Amino acid sequence: MLTILDAVLSQDEVRQFRAYLDQAEWQDGAATAGTLARSAKNNAQIDDRAELAISLGNHILRTLGNTPLFIAAALPRKIYPPKFNRYAVGETYGTHVDSAVMQIPNTHLSLRSDLAATLFLSEPDEYDGGELEIDTEFGVQTVKLGAGDMVLYPASSLHRVTPVTRGARVASFFWIESLVGDDAERTLLFDLDQTIQNLTPGLAADDRNLLKLTGIYHNLLRRWAAT
């Protein structure tokens, strides 16, 4: 399932992020790539240990914790601390797949990467190229969102960032381990949740069918969730 979340960050928040990031110290992004992905990766990143990366990442996590659509779509159990990258002219990230299991920095915990997230911090007219392309069962999905918008997609997907030919593409990216690891099950739960949300305003709180649907949702979650 590919899910777009509009305006995760407000325009004021994006401007504040960019003011900091445009003055940040960037390093070669290939240093953090896996063995196979290293040769395909050509971009810049901020050191994960930098105070700026930690501070901005924590802001993103706090915001997502108060974003119902994110909670419904991801059913997050663990979230990898957000990272930040930049693609300037000529930079790209060839086709790759994310590592299935990742060590969470500065902890003894690991994370199964069920979902990947890209939070765009550049407006589409600031750069040419730099599209996120995701291989899905329905073909290649091309994603290039407004600053502050975010895409969620299965981390198991082959994906790439096309070469930037003008300007610079700045984004945050991270991974989520979901309570429901199976993408098909998670998609069914999300569709059911959104149907319930759409029906709720027009029905009484004690409507029998609404209560039954809500019960089905929670019983499926109870069956499929790994705690």
Binding-site residues for Fe cation, in ranges, read 96, 98, 159
- Rg of the chain taking only CA atoms, in angstroms: 18
Summarize the annotated binding site as residue ranges.
Answer: 96, 98, 159, 169
Would residue 174 be called left, alpha or beta, if left means φ above 0 and alpha means ψ between -120 and 50 degrees?
beta
**112, 134 contact by CB (below 8 A):** no
Summarize the annotated binding site for 2-oxoglutarate as residue ranges.
Answer: 169
3-state secondary structure of 110: strand
Q: How many CB atoms lie within 10 A of CB 221?
A: 17
CA distances from 202 to 80, 198, 205, 213, 215 (A): 38, 8, 9, 15, 18
